[in-house]
Structure 1
Amino acid sequence: MSLKPKVVNFNTVWHDLRETVEAVITLGNVKRDVWNNRFSDVYSLCVAHPEPLAEKLYFETKQFLENHVQNMLVTKVAPTNSTPSQADKNVPDLLQRYYDAWSQYSKGIFYLDCLYLYLNQQHIKKQKLSDADITYCKICPETHDLKEIGELGLDIWRIYMVENLGKQLVEHILEGIKADRCGSPEINSQRVKIINGVILSFVQVQDYKKTGSLKLYQDLFETPMLEASAQYYSSEASKLLQRCSVSEYMEEVIKILDDENKRAQKFLHNSSLAKLRKQCEEGFINDRLDFLYSECKEMVSQEKRKDLRNMYIVLKPIPDRLKGLLIQTFLDHIKNEGIETISTLKGENMHIQFVENMLKVHQKYQELIADVFENDSLFLSALDKACASVINRRPNDRQQCRSAELVAKYCDTLLKKSKTSETEVDAKLTNNITIFKYIEDKDVYQKFYSRMLAKRLIHEQSQSMDAEEAMINRLKQACGYEFTNKLHRMFTDISLSADLNNKFNSHLKKENTDLGINLSIKVLQAGAWPLGPTQVVIPFAVPQEFEKSIRMFENFYHTSFSGRKLTWLHHLCHGELKIGFLKKTYIVTMQTYQMAMLLLFETCDSLTCKEIQTTLQLNNETFQKHMQSLIESKLLLASSESLEGETKIELNFEYTNKRTKFKITAAMQRETPQEVEHTLSAVDEDRKLYLQAAIVRIMKSRKVLRHNALIQEILSQSKVSFTPSISMIKKCIESLIDKQYIERTPNSGDEYSYVA
């Protein structure tokens, strides 16, 4: 074939081309050589000499397609000889005829578009409007733009076929969908295919458009379909309400939603699925919320899992519905059960009951949320809020929340020496962190935990140092390094003390010195150990049996570490004393003051209280407490109940005990109410210092800040450790104003400025 332009007789070429076009559009048989020749004909007309005939070819093809579609409408799809009543009686025939015609025509127009490829690319595309022309020049593409042959064919179908039959087709389609909803046997797979094909034709005729390709589908079919569906849903919902309980209604709605979703997938375009679903939810759920919620409290309180699961499935797709009554009722239910399970706790094991009861509540509802609510974040958040509310609840405004103290005591119980296996202890400590995370006053927990840890380390009561370190690492993961910094330093001190004792023993061997007693000393950093009021040294005359050992260690220590001061905390010391004045020898573990008192009886059998107290130089409170413990253990006997002045204290030579090795120090190591009170007071002081430091930091960076903004900044910074009261923050601000760190801005009562 020659590509050179030449003179062409349009009528002759078009006559042959028209026959092929007609065969193509009707899916007739076209021979390969004829098909190839028609490509050449299209090309020759487009480049004809002396004037291209592309435009004439375009309009002749357009005229042919218009006539062809109009003829199909009259002869094949909607014959004029059938009356409207006959057409109505043959509803499936209309859909069938339209579907068959569309199936043939849409395929034919695709092949025709291929045949006119050269015309499309070299003539039509070059004249098409650009996106810029449409956007900025506001030219309507419908009136100024030529369509490619495939697009032209689809548009002609829209104009002459869809616009003429559209409403009638939609009526028949809606009747078909309604029949499917009613379970009519007429709506078989073939009928579904036909209805779906007709519906999709409304989309496909405008598929070529860059914008608004679904407008015809939406205006012609989707809008009336959604209106009809809404009426159907409302009617069906009313029928269900009359015969169903809430539980039965939800089951029916879930089934209907599933059926409608499947129906939409087999009939409709994908763009309509969400809209129809929303319409269905509106009719069955949104408009019936009062009915659905009428038994919500009962379902939650009785924990009817099946009903709650169904309510979750029904409400989940609707925005904000889960955040309403269902979640709030669920939250209140957990809160009530939590309060009920801990409100009656009392006794020595209160801390164990508190943590384990709260863990049971948490685990129970965590499992329920996983089983019923698919671990939905909204319900998990409700669980967190409920647990936090219960754990941080104060019985009244005058009483402190004891959760932090109880959780710390629970850890202390687990970490002390016991018969519990390490594996079980580890599992319980891991679970304990769940409760710890809900505590708002984490600084209170830290204070109690550090004091209890100090006692365990000093008195060597820890079951496992590995378990102790593992627990501290858990706390570090939950609250950060600053939270556990001092706890780590306490461990470091214990480790260094062990090395120091080894060096001291080596030093004694080297000096060939025998102390006469076995000595183990722990050197503790004053800033790391929470020893509270005990840092105030209690007056005490050290027994001569200890003097040599103490002096030797002090000399050794000051030789190794210059510039450090040692303060002996005798009230924290304990030792083993061998008692040999009885029929049987006993080894008793006791505290230093108790040991010093018994050692006074090495040279005599009885002494007065005044003599013992004067010799040891103990204050009255310390003397009374430790002497009372010795008398209660029956190692010593008192002549009267009041341990004062001339009351005679003597050895009990009739003392017996089944065990030859025992302790009398346990009672002294318990947390007393005074120590608890002091711990809480120390927390209060620490908070004031923390808040003042935070205020200074904030004001130093901001220079000038309003009162409310400063309050919010402080709350934001302190929420990791505790939530301060507004009154405490105000007191700290006033204190810093008095100290001239900040000042009120002149002419403004609620603004502060930093004093550089």
Structure 2
Amino acid sequence: MSLKPKRVNFEETWKELKQTVKDVITMGNVNKTIWNDRFLDVYSLCVAFPEPLADKLYNETKQFLESHVHNLLATKVAPSENDNANDYNMVNDTLLQRYYAAWIEYSQGVEYLNFLYMYLNQQHIKRNKHTAEVEFTYGQVGTENQELMEIGELGLDIWRGCMIKSLGEEIVKQILEAIYADRIGNDLGSNSAQVIYGIIQSFVQVQNYKKKGNLNLYQELFEAPMLAASGEYYKSEAAQLLQRCTVSEYMEEVLKRLEDENRRAHKFFHGSTIPKLRQECELRMITDHLDFLHSDCKEMVSQEKRVDLHNMYVLLKPIPDGLKTLIQAFLDHIKNEGIETISTLKGDTIHIQFVENMLKVHHKYEQMIAELFKNDPLFLSALDRACASVINKRINDKQQCRSAELVAKYCDSLLKKSKTTEIEIDSKLTSSITIFKYIEDKDVYQKFYSRMLAKRLIHEQSQSMDTEEAMINRLKQACGYEFTNKLHRMFTDISVSTDLNNKFNAHLKDKNVELGINLSIKVLQAGAWPLGPTQTTIPFAIPHEFEKAIRMFETFYHENFNGRKLTWLHYLCQGELKLSYLKKPYIITMQTYQMAILLLFENVDVMTCKEIQETLELNADTFQKHMQSLIESKLLLASSEQLEGSTEIKLNLDYSNKRTKFKITAALQRETPQEVEHTMSAVDEDRKLYLQAAIVRIMKSRKILKHNALIQEILSQSKVTFAPTISMIKKCIESLIDKQYIERTSTGSDEYSYVA
């Protein structure tokens, strides 16, 4: 067998080839030998000598296929009087059944035929297509070449142009009637469903070969009327449901309809139609009736009807702005519950009640969002806004919000020594950060927290230094290094002080010096510790029992650290005093001033208030406070209730206590209203300095800036730690103008320039 080009009699060859083409297209039996011979015939015609006969073969094949499809239409598929559009089980010879049977046979035959004409497709048609594309690119359009299609494509296009063009509208009409029957509950049967699916797929497959617009026929012929019919059906369904259903019942019915329609779409339609069909259903059953659905939002949220809320979320989620009303109702509900849960707080444990109640609210609705709303960011944002609103709510404009103070106290109560396990403490501290993040005035929290941390470190009340450090690291992650810088320095001072005490004790040992008392000193950096200058100037005559130890430490310290100044904060000091004049010895931990008062009774049993105060050089307030605590503890007895100058104070020689070791300093370490007020005023001062520094930085980089733009820049920079009022910002701007850091420009009073 030779593959060289040779002369071929087209008529004789085509006659044999045509019979095989007919057998293939009608899915008849073709002998293998004949099949192979026809392959060679196609090849021979394409390379015939002296002139290839490929174009003639293509045209004859096209005419045959057109004739075949016209014949199918006329004799086997075309509507007849026996067609029954209402017979959805298609047991009879219906149009849909005939079309489907003809399509299955023809489409399979065309696929085999395309394989038979492989050489024509690859060597002639594809080459002509390429030539046409080149000519089209350079403006020389060859219309004939452009029309050439591969045989498989040609067969499908002929089916489209003849069969679908003639019967398409009638077929689609009957399909839509069958789909309607399925919607109202008539069982189509598996055979009918297969027929409908196959016909719809034929609208897609006849143009599958196209690179662009391959779904145009499907969309125009079937999808558009189907969507319109579906819209009308669900519009009618919605109207009927609204007449007899509550919102809850209506949502359940709509969800059933959507689920059924989704199942139907996957069963019959092309994948691209599924979202369009769902959108059409949602438009008619949800979007058109949003007011009805929204009417029950508040009640569902307030009563926390979990099933209804989940259903409403599922329905409204795909609708633009559909969730807006539900989210607002959800936000308002959380705010109301949050305000209610913190409005009844009372007693000494307000800080614990506040944090733990808010955590319960947060956890409850966070869990609800996870279960009902799939952790939707819109609902999580609503939860955040609601919690922030409750936590930062002020009782009135004149009163400061106490949230920052209460959260700081809560952390303080956990970090102090207690019987609670470290694991439980760690868990609660981690949870407290959730509330902390909502606080706007984080600088207020920082002030209170640092002051309470200072007390814990100085009085050695911390449960665990590791727990303290872990908490500071949590704050650092939440607000950055600058926020916790001073807290880290406080830790460093405690560590350094431990080493310093060891060196001092070694120094005394080397010098062979006995102090007579055990001394432990903490050296603290003035800039890191929030101790304030208020009590450092309290006059105090140090008892002679302490003088030697203090002088020795000062000498040692100045020898090691030249140029540093030590200021003794006696009001923060405490010590253990052993009482040996009673029936049994007692060891009592007390504050320095209390210890100094008791030491005056070393050689006497009775002294007047005036003598004690003058000897120790204490002011009236300090004397009254510490003397009162000793009298209340019954270590000293007073001759009258009023501590006046002539009032006699004497040792209680009959004092008795079940415990031989106890403290009387706890009452003195309680926070006073004056301390809270001092902390808040310190925060205000810090804020003014921060704002002034921010204004100078902004103006230095911008040089000239409008008033409103400057305000926005300041608000943006300060929002991390606090939310300044506009009046405070204006006062800071005026202050900097007075200090000649900035000035108003000549163009107007609402523009500032930096004074270099």
TM-score class normalised by the smaller sequence:
over 0.9
In the TM superposition, residue 611 of structure 1 has moved relative to its aligned partner by 2.1
Determine the structure 1 residue equivalent to 2:220: 219
Aligned-partner Cα distance in 2 for 1:30–1:744: 99
Partner SS state of residue 577, structure 1: strand
Deviations, residues 725-747 of structure 1 (Å, cap 9, x unaligned): 11112222222222222222331
Aligned counterpart, 2:155: 153
| 3-state SS in 1 of match to 2:625 | helix
- Give the equivalent residue in structure 1 for 2:263: 262
**Equivalent of 1:172 in 171, 174, 185:** 174
Measured after TM superposition, the shift of residue 750 of structure 1 is 2.5
Alpha-carbon displacement from aligned partner over 1:433-462 (angstroms, at most 9, x marks no partner) = 111111111111011000001001101111
C-alpha distance in 1, partners of 2:594/2:135?
102
Per-residue CA distance 1:397-445 (angstroms, 9 max, x = gap): 1110000000000111111112222222122111111111111111110
SS at the partner of 1:533? Answer: coil
Verify the 8 A CA contact 1:174 1:225 in the aligned structure 2.
yes
Aligned to 1:2: 2
Structure 2 residue 664 is the aligned partner of structure 1 residue 658: no
Counterpart amino acid of residue 165 in structure 1: L
**C-alpha contact (below 8 Å) 2:83/2:95 kept by paired residues:** no
User: Is the partner of 2:272 in helix, strand or coil?
Assistant: helix
Q: Normalization by structure 2: what TM-score?
A: 0.96
Task: Specify the SS of the correspondent of 1:128.
Answer: helix
The one-letter code sitting in structure 2 at the alignment partner of 1:359 is L
Question: Secondary structure at the residue paired with 2:575?
Answer: strand
Match of 1:97 in 2: 98
Q: Which amino acid aligns with 2:416?
A: K
Query: How far 1:684 moved relative to its partner?
Result: 0.9
Map 1:700-739 → 2, pairs under 5 A:
700-739=700-739
Contact 1:127 1:145 in 2 (8 A): no
Deviations 1:653-686 (A, max 9, x none): 3333232222211111111111101111111111
Map 1:90-239; keep pairs closer than 5 Å.
92=90, 93-128=94-129, 144-185=146-187, 187-239=188-240
Instruction: Tell me the equivalent position of 2:275.
Output: 274
User: Alpha carbons of 1:594 and 1:680: their partners in 2 closer, same or farther (altered >3 Å)?
Assistant: same
**Residue number in structure 2 paired with 1:501:** 501
* CA displacement at 1:331 relative to structure 2: 0.8
In 2 relative to 1, CA 706–140 (structure 1 residues): closer, same or farther, beyond 3 Å? farther
Deviates more, 1:10-19 or 1:160-169: 10-19
CA distance in structure 1 between the aligned counterparts of 2:522 and 2:713, rounded to whole angstroms: 42
Equivalent position amino acid for 1:337 in 2: E
**TM-score, normalised on structure 1?**
0.96
Inter-partner Cα distance in structure 2 for 1:133 and 1:691? 72
Cα deviation for residue 329 of structure 1 reads: 0.5
Q: Summarize the alignment of residues 361-380 of structure 1 with structure 2, pairs less than 5 Å apart.
A: 361-380=361-380
The 1-side partners of 2:600 and 2:135 are apart by 111
User: Secondary structure of the residue that 2:721 maps to in structure 1?
Assistant: coil
Moved more, 347-356 or 280-289: 280-289
* 1:583 is the counterpart of 2:577: no
1:302 is matched with: 303
1:34 aligned partner: 34
> Partners of 1:534 and 1:145 in 2: how far apart?
98
Deviation at 1:516, TM superposition (A): 0.6
Question: Cα–Cα, structure 1 residues 132 and 46, in superposed 2: closer, same or farther, change >3 Å?
Answer: closer
Inter-partner Cα distance in structure 1 for 2:98 and 2:749: 84
Matches within 5 A, 1:408-557: 408-534=408-534, 536-557=536-557
Contact residue 135 and residue 142 of structure 2 kept, 8 A: no
Q: CA deviation at 1:342?
A: 0.3
SS at match of 1:327: helix
Task: Please state how far the C-alpha of 1:748 moved relative to its aligned partner.
Answer: 3.4
Aligned to 1:16: 16
Q: Could you say if the C-alpha distance between residues 107 and 750 of structure 1 is closer, same or farther in structure 2, counting changes exceeding 3 Å?
A: same
- Whichever residue aligns with residue 260 of structure 1, its letter is E
Decide whether aligned partners of structure 1 residues 314 and 399 sit closer, same or farther in structure 2, where only a CA change above 3 A counts: same
Relative distance call for 1:353 and 1:583 in structure 2 (3 A) is same
The residue type equivalent to 1:698 in the other structure is: I
Compare 174-183 and 533-542 and name the one that shifted more. 533-542
- Kindly indicate whether the alpha-carbon contact (under 8 Å) linking 2:128 and 2:145 is maintained by their aligned counterparts in 1: no
Q: Does 1:686 align with 2:707?
A: no
Change (3 A) 1:140 1:533: farther
Give the superposed CA RMSD.
2.0
* Counterpart-to-counterpart distance in 2, 1:142 and 1:303: 71
Query: 2:51 is matched with which residue?
Result: 51
**CA distance 1:42–1:140, shift in 2 (3 Å):** closer
Determine the C-alpha separation between the residues in 1 that align with 2:34 and 2:598.
127
Pairing of 1:344-383 with structure 2 (within 5 A): 344-383=344-383
The corresponding residue for 2:614 is 614
* Structure 1 residues 66-86: Cα deviation after superposition (integer angstroms, max 9, x where no partner): 10100000011116xx34x75
Residue type of the alignment partner of 1:166 = G
Residues 95-118 of structure 1: CA deviation (Å, up to 9, x unaligned): 111001111111111111122222
Mean CA deviation greater in 353-362 or 577-586: 577-586
Equivalent position amino acid for 2:205 in 1: Q
CA distance in 1, matches of 2:253, 2:430: 44
SS at match of 1:753: strand
| In 2: Cα distance, 1:184 partner to 1:335 partner | 50
Distance in 1 separating the partners of 2:19 and 2:681? 104
Kindly, what percent of the aligned residue pairs are identical?
74
Checking the alignment, whether the CA contact within 8 Å between 1:706 and 1:751 is kept in structure 2 is yes
TM-fit CA distance, 1:131: 6.5
Instruction: Quote how far apart the aligned CAs of 1:136 are.
Output: 8.8
Between 711-720 and 2-11, the greater mean CA deviation after superposition: 2-11
CA shift digits 1:216-264 (9 cap, x unpaired): 1111111111111111111111222222222222111111111110001
| Cα distance, 1:541–1:111 mapped onto 2, change above 3 Å | same
**Which stretches in structure 1 are left out of the alignment for 5+ residues?**
none
1:534 CA drift (Å): 4.0
CA distance in 1, matches of 2:144, 2:200: 23
What is the rounded CA distance, in whole Å, between the counterparts of 1:141 and 1:394 in structure 2?
A: 80
For 2:753, the equivalent position in structure 1 comes to 753
SS at match of 2:3: coil
Stretch deviating more after TM superposition (392-401 or 295-304): 295-304
Structure 2: which amino acid aligns with 1:155?
A: D
Paired with 1:126 and 1:404, the residues of 2 have a C-alpha distance of 79
Tell me, yes or no, if the aligned pair for 2:536 and 2:568 is still in contact at 8 Å: no
Are the aligned partners of 1:134 and 1:141 in contact in 2 as well (CA < 8 Å)?
no
Residue deviations 1:558-615, cap 9 Å, x none?
A: 1222221111111100011122333332222111111111111212222222222222
Greater shift, 248-257 or 545-554, is seen at 248-257
Give 1:644 shift: 3.5
Cα distance between partner residues in 2 of 1:193 and 1:56: 39
Following the alignment from structure 2 to structure 1, what is the Cα–Cα distance between the partners of residues 332 and 141?
62
